[in-house]
Amino acid sequence: MTTQKLRGYDIINTSALSKSTAFSRKEREELGLRGLLPHAVCSQALQEQRILENLRRKAYDIEKYIFLMALLERNEKLFYHTVIQNIDELMPLIYTPTVGQACKEFAHIFRKARGFYITPDDKGEIRNILDNWPVDDIRVIVVTDGERILGLGDLGANGMGIPIGKLSLYTACAGIHPRHCLPVMLDVGTNNEDFLKDPFYLGYPNHRIQGQPYLDLVEEFVLAVNDKFPKALIQFEDFLTPNAFKLLETYRDRTLCFNDDIQGTAAVSLAGVYASTRITNLRFTDLRIMFLGAGSAATGVGDLMCSAFMDQGLSHDEAANRLWFVDKKGLITSGRKDLMMHNIPYAHDHPPLSFIDAIKDIKPHILIGATGSPNTFTQEVIELMSSFQERPVIFALSNPTERAECTPEEAYAWSHGKALFASGSPFAKVTYQGQDFKPGQGNNAYIFPGMGLGATSCEASRMTDEMFLEAAKALSDQVTNDDLKYGTLYPPLSKIRTVSLEIATRIAQKAYEQGLAQHPEPKDMKTFIADQMYQTTY
């Protein structure tokens, strides 16, 4: 689409083309815009100031979310420019934690259709209806079935807010062109009775299909995408744990795909662990790591950490022995008969213990929470960790913010300033006894945009564990000594496009090393990738 093909109101009302009041006098003359805009020609910087002024007047975050989504519908470049320039303030509004509320209220705040919806009624027709999408060159697809949205459970078709939000971060954080992005909702129904009774609910108004019919629909979707969009990366997002693992294992060697909850969370967590060793002065291979929660996110982190230990010389058994998992029934042990397949590799030959007793017995250096349950890292837990570790490392990864296992204020106070804290949601700077701490945000946005940029730039045929391991190393390398002075285990969000470019470069290099890249190898990888990044200035 070019400006030469459209004129007048058609340009103003096309988000990808509109500059609103920033059109120059010459452009207004050439494009038939005279009389259609106020007299003043505004700079993009001035437009940004106007956006922020209006945004900050709004009392509630959900109102700010709606305002920003409306801006995206009006003026794509201004939306992304404003987000990039003010990412600390705006990322929590367009994604975690506000996107959680936006999903819960999705049907009630619906304004305009975005993305692509597939229901059981489309069985046998998915490839045909993909032709209805107006863009042929799709490079990144984020798909969910809405069954496990953040820590909020089954939100059905309301979960479309997640693919929309994730893809906005692909563009803002890594420069994937928005025209190359497609949010998809596999709307297979919902078991949320409140939604089924809600007259405003927009989804398939039935209970979820399960078993083989569900798997057949996913299979048809993947095959249809491979045919229609052969260069597309598929990101599976917010699937229930059994389905998340099953779909990843089914498709990881068949197509270019990954699961962000399993693999993205793993890479960002591993990066934080790497960074923590620069403060604790512990060898990575000596670490004992305990997880509270044993679902897809926690086990995905464990799997990648197992690979990281082996990368540094440990055997598989030695690596697995560094990793301990606790679920709501206690320590994951080999004597338990209720374990899922993904738990079995980490089931130790050990007496059963409660969470507290497991901490006392194992004395982990690092505690990682991926429970979706708030307040599970209690004062007793933090004080216990601090009693045998000089600098206990605490990751409270559950989203949204109100689901975090503990707050940084609690972690610093209960540890008397000893803890190194990171969370999945943003928290403000904390001052404890005159010392400033900046809690790092172990947000997957540090990983998946750069992974997508790297994989699509080199036209990788699939994603490998080695790529996620490389991404974790690349992210950790971006943490400076100045960051570490404040106990921060991640680089500032303001550097996220630089971080994403670094990750993308190293991912692409890994793809060429593994013989998985289909694009001819460029002489200067970083420049080649940077030249493909979407620019938001007019």
pLDDT(1) > 60:
no
- Say which residues have a Cβ less than 8 Å from residue 104's Cβ, sequence separation at least 6: 152, 155, 158
169, burial (CB in 10 Å: exposed 0-12, middle 13-18, buried 19+): buried
Q: What is the mean pLDDT of the chain?
A: 96
Using pLDDT thresholds of 50, 70 and 90, give the confidence band for residue 25.
Answer: very high
Percent of the chain with pLDDT over 90: 95
Under CATH, which architecture does the 98-234 domain have? 3-Layer(aba) Sandwich (3.40)
pLDDT(359) > 90:
yes
CA 223 centroid distance within chain: 24
Least Cα distance to 159 among 197, 201, 216 occurs for 201
**Delimiting residues of CATH 3.40.50.10380 domain(s) in the chain:** 98-234
Active-site residues, by number, are 95, 166
**pLDDT at residue 399 in the model:** 83
Q: Are 529 and 506 in contact (CB under 8 A)?
A: no
pLDDT(410) > 80:
yes
pLDDT(329) > 90:
yes
Tokens of 294: 């044993």
Average pLDDT score over residue span 286-294: 97
**Delimiting residues of CATH 3.40.50.720 domain(s) in the chain:** 263-445
- Which superfamily, per CATH, for 263-445? NAD(P)-binding Rossmann-like Domain (3.40.50.720)
Beta bridge partners of 436: 431
Q: Are 516 and 460 in contact (CB under 8 A)?
A: yes
Least Cα distance to 348 among 336, 363, 364, 366 occurs for 336
Average pLDDT score over residue span 396-425: 94
Sheet with 289-292: list strands edge to edge: 330-331, 323-327, 289-292, 366-369, 393-396, 420-423, 440-441
User: Rounded to an integer, what distance in angstroms lies between the CA atom of residue 209 and that of residue 224?
Assistant: 20
Q: What is the pLDDT of residues 233-274, one digit of tens each?
A: 999 999 999 999 999 999 999 999 999 999 999 999 999 999
**pLDDT at residue 59 in the model:** 97
CA 332 centroid distance within chain: 27
**pLDDT at residue 158 in the model:** 98
**pLDDT at residue 296 in the model:** 86
**pLDDT at residue 2 in the model:** 44
User: Rounded to an integer, what distance in angstroms lies between the CA atom of residue 483 and that of residue 534?
Assistant: 28
**pLDDT at residue 26 in the model:** 98
Q: What is the pLDDT of residues 75-116, one digit of tens each?
A: 999 999 999 999 999 999 999 899 999 999 999 999 999 999
**pLDDT at residue 425 in the model:** 86
Using pLDDT thresholds of 50, 70 and 90, give the confidence band for residue 119.
Answer: very high
**pLDDT at residue 402 in the model:** 87
